């Protein structure tokens, strides 16, 4: 590659089908296509790294050249990273920092953890003090709206879940309020409520600003490309810890000023989505539509020499 960079990644695409049938009359079938691409670019000395990722249902929409160029620019731009003091900073989290992870993602753990049984039994961030769950409570900033829709043109989902339940458009969070929770067949029957089909992806409503425009509106802050090695510290508050990687940059007066060394964070998406300053334009990632987010008072606890 140009600039003496090295790239490594994967491109995986194919077609598939799902079929379910039983002796109770269930008969469900669906075809699907998907293409996944990710690339990590590093400088020759290994001190600079960049990353880009995308997934599409139509391979014609995948621009691997543009994605690789983005990762290359971040790798070249992350050389000679400076150390800054850990603390609370305004951050801009790119979609990959929100939904991409090795075992756990910053938003994924919350979105796929909205089970009613776990909450009712006291094992969830949605557990209500004194018993029950927090459905109907305002837990997030009013700008937060999250739903699922298997018929969405950009992120078409499964028509039925693993139990054969038909999926439909479902609102999960409206203006910060928890509107629905996931009820398995068993827990729904136990509580005399309808069962909820498990969605194959989520959509977080956003604005029209690009990541570049979010940067331009920031006086001082940090741009985060990606997070990794995320681990759950406290399931009751969804407190996570993990590290930044593959391009972390300091922002000053609306522009990227210099690359910074990676840092460990301790943060909960619950707190994070209450410190929401701005929401960018949603992008498809991991079968979801996720916008870049501008968050104030994001907590960093220590520095890391890892690239």
- What pLDDT was estimated at residue 247? 96
Residue 101 pLDDT more than 90? no
Residue 75 pLDDT more than 90? yes
Where residue 69 falls among pLDDT bands split at 50, 70, 90? very high
Where residue 102 falls among pLDDT bands split at 50, 70, 90? low
Q: Summarize the confidence of residues 147-171 as an average pLDDT.
A: 95
Least Cα distance to 184 among 234, 128, 240, 114 occurs for 114
- The DSSP secondary structure of 94-140, one letter per residue, reads -HHHHH--SS--TTHHHHTT-BHHHHHTT-STTBPTTSSB-TT-B-S
- What pLDDT was estimated at residue 143? 97
- What pLDDT was estimated at residue 282? 96
Q: Give the SS3 label for residue 92.
A: strand
Q: Summarize the confidence of residues 23-52 as an average pLDDT.
A: 95
- What pLDDT was estimated at residue 280? 97
Query: How much is the mean pLDDT over the chain?
Result: 95
Rounded distance between C-alpha atoms, residue 292 and residue 224, angstroms:
10
Q: Summarize the confidence of residues 253-281 as an average pLDDT.
A: 97
Share of the chain above pLDDT 70, in %: 98
**Phi and psi dihedrals of 3, rounded to 5?**
65, 20
Alpha helices in the chain (DSSP H): 64-77, 95-99, 108-111, 116-120, 185-191, 211-216, 269-272
DSSP class of 60: G
- Over the Cα atoms of the chain, what is R_g? 20
Which two structure tokens, joined as six digits, stand for 157?
Answer: 């989902």
Residue 128 pLDDT more than 70? yes
State the CB neighbour count (10 A cutoff) for residue 245.
Answer: 20
Which two structure tokens, joined as six digits, stand for 174?
Answer: 């409206």
Q: Summarize the confidence of residues 51-67 as an average pLDDT.
A: 95
- What pLDDT was estimated at residue 307? 86
Global pTM value = 0.94
Q: Summarize the confidence of residues 244-265 as an average pLDDT.
A: 97
User: What's the per-residue H, E or C state across 261-289?
Assistant: CCEEEEECHHHHCCCEEEECCCEEECCEE
Least Cα distance to 111 among 98, 120, 94 occurs for 98
Kindly give, in sequence order, each residue whose CB lies less than 8 Å from that of residue 61, ignoring residues fewer than 6 positions away. Answer: none
- What pLDDT was estimated at residue 279? 97
Where residue 2 falls among pLDDT bands split at 50, 70, 90? low
């Amino acid at each position: 590659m140009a600039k003496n960079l090295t790239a490594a990644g994967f491109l995986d695409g194919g077609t598939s089908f799902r079929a379910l049938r039983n002796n109770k009359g269930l008969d469900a079938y669906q075809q699907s296509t998907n293409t996944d691409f990710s690339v990590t670019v590093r400088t020759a000395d290994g001190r600079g790294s960049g990353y880009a990722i995308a997934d599409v249902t139509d391979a014609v929409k995948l621009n691997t050249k543009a994605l690789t160029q983005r990762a290359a620019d971040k790798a070249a731009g992350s050389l000679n990273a400076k150390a800054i003091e850990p603390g609370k900073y305004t951050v801009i989290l790119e979609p990959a920092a929100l939904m991409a992870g090795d075992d756990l993602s910053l938003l994924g753990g919350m979105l796929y953890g909205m089970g009613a049984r776990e909450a009712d039994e006291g094992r969830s961030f949605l557990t209500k003090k004194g018993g029950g769950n927090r459905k109907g409570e305002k837990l997030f900033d009013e700008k937060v709206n999250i739903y699922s829709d298997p018929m969405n043109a950009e992120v078409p989902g499964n028509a039925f879940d693993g139990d054969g339940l038909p999926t439909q458009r479902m609102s999960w969070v409206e203006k910060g309020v928890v509107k629905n929770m996931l009820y398995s067949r068993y827990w729904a029957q136990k509580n005399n409520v309808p069962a909820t089909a498990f969605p194959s992806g989520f959509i977080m409503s956003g604005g029209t600003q690009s990541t570049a425009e979010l940067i331009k509106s920031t006086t001082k802050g940090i741009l985060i490309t990606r997070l990794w090695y995320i681990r759950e510290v406290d399931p009751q508050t969804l407190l996570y810890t993990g590290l930044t990687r593959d391009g972390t940059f300091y922002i000053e007066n609306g522009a990227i000023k210099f690359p910074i060394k990676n840092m460990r964070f301790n943060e909960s998406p619950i707190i994070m989505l209450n410190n929401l300053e701005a929401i960018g334009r949603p992008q498809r990632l991991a079968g979801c539509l996720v916008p870049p987010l501008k968050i104030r008072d994001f907590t960093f606890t220590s520095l890391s020499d890892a690239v």
